[in-house]
Amino acid sequence: MREIAITLRVILTLAFIGAGGGKLVGVEMMIMTFDQIGFGQWLRYLTGLIEVLGVALLWMPRKQVIGAVLLGGTMVGAIMTHWFILGPSAVPAIVLGLVCTAVIYIYRYQIHKVFGMVHGAENYSIDTKSSVEDKL
């Protein structure tokens, strides 16, 4: 399971560093896309920042679920934007959203700690050799 979790995080890292970095440095395609959306370029910067921050959190101990939730949230926004404003295809955003969902599932034991609830966390672990309490 550990190898799968790392592979999924690498996939998300490559995709979102490319996309988030492109938004932050002002790649022409990103500028035109956010012009079409119509909320201004501040949204491009915000989205890029959230994507880069989400990637960083994917690699921090006990923060993977937060990173995956942030990245998944941007994909929900991307899917809606493609469906209602931009058109063509939301398939890449849907696929990345599903990868984010898989990472959230793998690191679901962290959710209890994020929301300040430790009760029930003992049932969830990606590593059966160590307890969840050690990870929290």
Q: Is residue 115 assigned to a domain?
A: no
pLDDT at position 82:
94
Distance, CA of 63 to CA of 78 (rounded, Å): 23
Q: Is residue 78 assigned to a domain?
A: yes
Q: Is residue 129 assigned to a domain?
A: no
Q: What is the pLDDT of residues 60-84, one digit of tens each?
A: 999 999 999 999 999 999 999 999 9
Q: Is residue 54 assigned to a domain?
A: yes
Report the range of poorest mean pLDDT among 60-69, 111-120, 126-135. Answer: 126-135
- pLDDT-based confidence at residue 107 (cuts at 50, 70, 90): very high
Q: Is residue 121 assigned to a domain?
A: no
Q: Which residue has the higher pLDDT, 113 or 64?
A: 64
pLDDT at position 75:
98
Q: Is residue 8 assigned to a domain?
A: yes
Q: Is residue 132 assigned to a domain?
A: no
Q: What is the pLDDT of residues 85-95, one digit of tens each?
A: 998 889 999 99
- State if pTM tops 0.95: no
Total tally of structural domains belonging to the chain: 1
Report the range of poorest mean pLDDT among 13-22, 48-57, 80-89. Answer: 80-89
Q: Is residue 16 assigned to a domain?
A: yes
